[in-house]
Structure 1
Amino acid sequence: MTDADGLGGPPPRRFDRVSACLLAALLALLAAAAYYPFDWSPPRAVDNDVRRTAAGTLRFGEDNVARTPGTPAWVADARDGAPVRIDLRVRPAFPQRYAPVSILMVARDFWHTDIGIDQDGRNLVVSVGRPGATENGDPPFVVDGAFGPGRWTAVRVVLERAAIVVAVDGTTRVREPLPAGYQRSWDGGRLALGDEVHGGHGWQGEIARAEVRTPNRTVDYVRPGALDVPAESFYLPDHVAPFPPISRLEWAILALHLLSFVPVGFLVARLRRPPFAILPVTALAAGFAALLALGKFGFDGRHTAVADVACQVTGALAGAWLAHRRLWRSLRRRRFTS
C-alpha cells in the first residue's frame, strides 16, 4: 500500500486538463446564452434626440428622454374609477429599428406597466394593467394596419369603468370589456413619450398631440413644460429584474440557472485531484455568476436578478458536494477491494 493509493497518506495533487477544457466550454456556452444576440449597448451619456419642430410637434429619434418627473395626477383619478381618454396624433418613421416600440406609456419600470401604447410595424398595440393580465398588461389589444409610412394617424384610447375603446382616425377598432375596478391594480409610475420610462428602444417619428383627459383635468404632453426633456441623459435602462419573478416562465428560468451551475461547481472542484474544498469552489462559482450578471449591463435587452446569482451559487454548491461525494465513494471502494 502506498501514498499514491490514497490510503497510506494524502494523494498527490495534480491538475485535471479534461475538467479544465469542459469547464471552459461550459462557461463559454453560459456566457453566449447570457448575452445573445450580443447587441452591445453599455451605460453611457447620450444626447437627447427629442426635438421641438417649428410647427410645435415633438420629433423623436433613437435616444429619447421625454418623461414626467413622477406619477401624473390623473392616475389618481383613474384609480378612483374615473374614465381616461388618451388622444394621440402621430407620424411614425418607417421602418422602426425595433418592434414593438413604445409611443406612450405609464409604467414603474420595464416589468410593471399600467398603460402602454406601442407600434409594432404597421400595427397599434395597447396594453392595460388589469386583473388576469401580466404585470405589463399582456395580452394586449391589437389594431392591425393602424399606421402607414409618411402619414399622420389619430389614435384615441378610452378607458372606461369596465371597458376599453380604441379608435383609429375616427373609426372604432376595438371595444372590449375590462374587469370592474381594474384601475385599482395600477402601480403608478412616470409617463414617457417615445421610449420606455428608464430608457430602452426609442420610437422614431413625430407626435403632434398627446392629450390625456379625465373629468377633473386635461394635459397635453406635447405642450412645452409638460415633460422633462433634458439636453442629455445617462443611458441606463432596466437590467435588474424584480423578485419574486412575475411569470411562470421566469420561475422556470431560475430553475435552469440553478441546474446550469451544478456542472460548473462539479468541474471547478475537479480541476485538481483531490478536489478543491467545497467553500473555495462555491466562492469561485459566485465570482463567475457575478461577472455574468454584471456583463448583462453592457448588452441591450439582457436582464439579470439577485435571485439568478443566488440560484447559480446554490447549483455550484451542489456540484462541488457531488464531486466530493464521488471522491469518498471511490476511496471507500478502494478500501473494500484492497
Structure 2
Amino acid sequence: MFATASGQTFPIWSNAKTMNKSNFTCENETDIKEYQHYTYAVIYTVILVPGLISNVLALWVFHAYVKETKKAVIFMIHLAIADLLQVLSLPWRIYYYLNKSWPFGHALCMLCFYLKYVNMYASVYFLVCISVRRCLLIIHPLQYNAAKRRVDRRCCAVVWFIVFIGCLPFPLLRKGPSAPNTCFSELPMVNLTLGSGLTLVTVAELAGFLLPLAVVLTCTWLTAGSLREKNGVLQDAGEKRKALKMVLSCACVFLVCFVPYHVTFPLDFLAKSNRVDCTFSSAVQRFHPITLCLASLNSCLDPVMYYFTTDEFKRRLSRPELVESFHMQRRFSCTATEESALPSEQQD
C-alpha cells in the first residue's frame, strides 16, 4: 500500500522481484522522512510569525476602518480568517516535525490535519470570489454594485459549507496511529481500490484546482479586456486599472501558492505507485513537501495583496492613521470606563 500527501492510499500491483529491486535501488525511506520533517519545520517556522502578525493586522484594519468600503471587502475578511486559522495550526505541526512525536492526542492531531486543508481550500475559493466580484463590478457595474453585501455574506457561508464538507475525506480516510505518537501524513490510511483512489484524486484536482484556476484566469482576461472598452458607464480607466491590479494579484497568489502543489499531487500518486523509476520517485518525494508548504505561504502573501491593491488599506496603515486610531481607541475606552463607574441614577 502507499499513501498520497492528500490522504488516499492505493494498493501497488507489482511482483516481488520488482519490489526487491525497488527497495535495493531507491533512496532510503528514513532519509526521505528526515528530509521531509526538516523541510516542514523550517518553512512553517518562516511562515508562522509574519503570517500571524499580518493577518491579525489585516482583520484589525478591516474591522476598524474598512467596514464601509466597497469591492469585495467581505471576501477579504473571510480570506484573512482562513489564513489566520491556517497559521494558528502551524505551531502544532512545527512541534511534531521538530520532536518527531505527537503527545497531544489523536483527536487534536486529526483536527489540525483537517483544518490545514479546510483553510487552504477556503483560501482558494475566497480568492476566486474576490476575482469574480471585482470582475463583475467592472463589467456590469449597474447590476453588481457595492450594496449587495448580503449576497456576499451568503456566498461566504456557502463557501465555508462546501469546503468543510469537501475536506472531510482527509480525516475520514485516516486510521488510528500504527506507531505511538505519530500524526499528520504518517497516519495509516484506509484501504482503497485503485479505481476509488483515482476517482478521489481526479475530483480533488477538478474541484480544488482546475475549476478555480479557470475562473481566476477568465476574470483576469475579462477585466483586462474591459480596459480597451470605451463604454463610459460609471467606471473610468483608473477604476478599471485598480480592479485589474486586484484580479492580477489574486491570480499571482493562486499561481505561486496552489499550482505547484496541485501539479505535484498526481505526480506523487505516480511516484508512490511504484510504476516509475527511483530517480523520478525520489525527486517527487523531495519536491512535493516544498509545494505543500508553498500552499501555506498564501497566508503571508494575501496581506501583501491587500496592502498594494487597496488604497484604503494602505492609507489606514500609514503612521499618522495608526497613531490617530490608537488615540481614538484609548479615548473611547476611557469614556466607557468613566460611564460604567457612574452611579446608576447619574447614568439615567
* TM-score above 0.5, yes or no: no
TM, length-normalised to structure 2: 0.22
Task: Pick the structure with more strand per residue.
Answer: 1
Structure with larger Rg? 1
* TM-score where L is the length of structure 1: 0.23
Q: Which has the higher helix share?
A: 2
Greater relative contact order: 1 or 2 (C-alpha under 8 angstroms, separation 6 or more)? Answer: 2
